[in-house]
Amino acid sequence: MKQEHIFYLFDLENPDNDVKEAINKDVTESKIVAEVNSMLSDIDETTTFSSMVRYYMDTKRLTTKDLYERAYIDRRLFHKIIKNRRYHPSKKTVFALCIAFGLDYLESVELLGLASYSFASNNRGDMILRYFLSKRIYDIDLINSVLYQFKCPCIGD
């Protein structure tokens, strides 16, 4: 499929010099598929949210029970995360795990990213959690108290 893109270049000082340019570009489905395949080859499908949770459990030497109790999440939910590589947790659950693991801000960004989330700069709760993770304050009761004062959902609700 051949596409033509037209650009107008305006000369503000001398309007008679305005130029209309056309750029022709050959775009074929096979070329697009080849370019997308090249991009997709860079994806590391072995690192999943579930595998990263298991990695942090090992490195932080936390038992399953310790972790779900620290994170204020249900045992069944925790087992879904561990057993199902494709399980997609809620953002609140990911934040709870970041706190339970004692992750710093950058580690939290990575874990959130594996679950397809990020810190939203227009969300009070996200900014409050970002503050606590940046300061390495992991007292979930204190965090919940501050979240409550700002009328944000608490961890473990």
Instruction: Show me where the domains of the chain are located.
Output: 2-40, 49-149
- Gap between the Cα atoms of 116 and 82, Å rounded: 17
Q: What class does CATH assign to 49-149?
A: mainly alpha
- Gap between the Cα atoms of 87 and 29, Å rounded: 33
Residues with Cβ within 8 Å of residue 121, at least 6 apart in sequence: 127
What is the rounded average pLDDT for all residues in the chain?
86
Predicted model pTM: 0.73
Confidence of residue 27 (pLDDT cuts 50, 70, 90): low
Confidence of residue 39 (pLDDT cuts 50, 70, 90): confident
pLDDT at position 30, please?
Answer: 80
- Gap between the Cα atoms of 149 and 157, Å rounded: 15
Locus of tokens 């996200």: 126
